[in-house]
Amino acid sequence: MKIILRRFWFLCVPVLLASALAQSRPAADLIVVNSKVWTSDKNHPTAQAVAVLGERIVAVGSNSQIEAWRDAKTRVIDAEGKLLLPGFNDAHVHFVSGGLQLDNVQLNDAKTPEEFALRIGEQAKKTSKGQWIQGGDWDETKWTPAQLPTKELIDPATANTPVFVNRYDGHMALANSAALRLARVTSKTPDPPGGTVVRDVQGNPTGAFKDAAMDYIYKVIPSLSPDQRRLAVKRALAHAASLGVTSVQDMNPEYDDIAMYSEFLRRGELTTRIYAAPLIAHVDDQAKLGIGRAFGGPYLRIGALKSYADGSLGSATAYFFEPFNDQPANHGLLSEEMQPLSLMRDRMMKADAAGLQLCTHAIGDQAISMILDLYGEISRSHGDADRRFRIEHAQHMAAKDFDRFAKLNVIASVQPYHAIDDGRWAEKRIGHDRASRTYAFRTFLDHGMRLPLGTDWNVAPLNPMLTIYAAVAEAGQAYTMGSAFAEFQDKEKGSITPGKLADMVLLSDDIFSIDPVKLRDVKVLKTIVGGKITWDATDGDAR
């Protein structure tokens, strides 16, 4: 009898301990059950359910394990077998510009110059006196023939309404005559360093401006009012939530943008986590504060600086060792920030000495090579450190630079959507050899390099499904953990792991098993940020 009782006692101990632990453990605020969980955590890659307490994940496991965290007050989401992922982290956006473009004239799919002009004319009819028409994201490569628009195309439809609509890559824009008059741009206006005023055969401005030359027009455009900026941020936040984007890394925001993010944060309305990287021209502002990289809280941080080495392939301003195939006298433009090169070197050295992260736009092979030179100088001068140098886009690589990229531990912050966008005509512009090292995601990974994914929104759509469709292999890991690493947050988010922030997205389909062609049609069912549902497709609204 004693033996039987002893055995019974030992059998009961685990149950009693589990019961005691359950009673002493707080109940979860939210649990997701009956899901196909893809964690992005290589130690525990899959699960059925997740428990969230406050803003953080407290348990990941089977349905029965997670049910132990439930009580009467716990909110339960039955995923009905759908795929649950870490929230998408877009490593390169222009957040306020994206929010503005949601309400601006839309020109990207205008198939002819005539349709382009018609849409601008329609926008002019509803534009108040004194207001500008901006945005657009036009793409002349969709026209036959593919030729740049001119002010003559839009002047008849815009009269005295000033227009400055940008090409989709953001490195060229078209002004009408009203805008040229306000900016006092004439045939005598010189090309600035790092920019081009496009001219006709008589030397008169056509209305198109490339890179640094765009500042001639931008300087006379009124700044956004607080209400306009507030609306743009509100629109951008709602759009991000609807697409499962829980974090963004905002490249070259204005300080007024960051102030507006702070306002939303104070009101508890900042539903997307933001890492802001203002332009490197402001290096003194952050350096003198002594804040260092990734400074701030879970929802809003600064400590990175964005710079530009060159322009873009589409605007023929990316900086290459050899000329463009279709423009033999042109091998691109170095940015104004790179002229002289000592200016960029001094700013980068100062930023690194202050512990700030460097994020540099470089698209052409020579521009990328020059930035690697500068990063190498910094490392030799300042010694080893966890810098996480970034090259934004890293689009067209020289063969000699893959090994250097890896040796310097530089992060290739890439935007795969461009591979199905301007990749349509890249080979025509730069030839087969250079095109073979374009969007070289697999080569980067084979060299052991970190690969965060982004969109460059509003240059490309913010929708992660389009990026994953363009990238396919390794996309899930790069869009979550890869992007988190790029902003020094891989210990805080990027995977569904106990202790990390509860940022997750529930999808309509399993992106890892469906036909890749169908990836573009996958929908976000729910977006969760810090344990709170910020988007629910059942009511079609951001929370």
Amino acid 10: pLDDT: 42
Dist. CA 314–CA 338, nearest whole Å: 20
Enumerate the domain spans of the chain.
Answer: 2-81, 96-218
Q: Which residues contact 433 (CB under 8 A, 6 or more apart)?
A: none
Q: Report in angstroms the alpha-carbon separations of 485 from 293, 467, 490, 492, 500.
A: 13, 19, 5, 10, 14
Sheet arrangement for strand 300-302: 88-93, 245-251, 273-277, 300-302, 295-296
Q: Which residues of 49-86 are buried (b: 16+ CB within 10 A; e: fewer)?
A: bbbbbebbbbbbbeeeebbbbbeeebeebebeebbbbb
**Strand partners for 251:** 277
Look-up: residue for tokens 């589409």?
314
| Alpha-carbon gap, residue 346 to 14, rounded angstroms | 64
> Bridge partners of 51?
31, 59
Distance CA 153, CA 116 (A): 9
Average pLDDT per consecutive 10 residues, the chain (543 residues; last block may be shorter): 44 44 78 97 95 98 96 97 97 97 95 97 93 96 94 95 96 97 97 97 97 97 96 98 98 98 98 98 94 96 98 94 96 96 98 98 98 98 97 96 96 89 84 93 91 92 88 77 96 97 97 89 96 91 63
Q: Angle at Cα 437 formed by Cα 436 and Cα 439, nearest 5°?
A: 105
The number of residues in the chain equals 543
Distance of CA 333 to the CA centre of its chain: 24
Q: Given this model, what pLDDT does residue 531 score? A: 97
Instruction: Look at residues 532, 487, 406, 490 and name the one whose alpha carbon lies nearest to residue 40.
Output: 490
Around Cβ 498, how many Cβ atoms within 10 Å?
15
Within 10 Å of residue 408's Cβ, how many Cβ atoms? Answer: 17
Distance CA 47, CA 36 (A): 6
Burial grade of 513 (CB within 10 A; 0-12, 13-18, 19 or more) = exposed
Closest-CA residue to 421 (of 211, 209, 148, 168): 168
Take residue 408 and report the two structure tokens written for it.
């310097």
pTM of the model: 0.91
The DSSP string of 454-489 is: ---BTSS---HHHHHHHH-TTHHHIIIIIHHHHTT-
- Using DSSP, state whether 392 is helix, strand or coil: strand
CA atoms within 13 A on the CB side of 213: 29
Give pLDDT, residue 23. Answer: 55
* DSSP-assigned letters across all residues of 236-283: HHHHHHHTTEEEEEEES--HHHHHHHHHHHHTT---SEEEEE-BGGGH
CB 193 within 8 A of CB 136: no
**Token pair for residue 375?**
């990063």
Check residue 417 and give its pLDDT: 86
Range 96-218 has CATH code 1.10.760.10? no
- Give pLDDT, residue 541: 66
Fold for 2-81, please state it. Urease, subunit C; domain 1 (2.30.40)
Instruction: Please report the beta strands in 109-263, taking only residues with DSSP state E, as ranges in sequence order.
Output: 133-138, 163-167, 172-175, 195-199, 205-211, 245-251
The first and second tokens of residue 204, run together, are: 């008169």
Residue 206: which of 183, 177, 181, 168 has the closest Cα?
A: 177
> Locate tokens 């707080």: which residue?
26
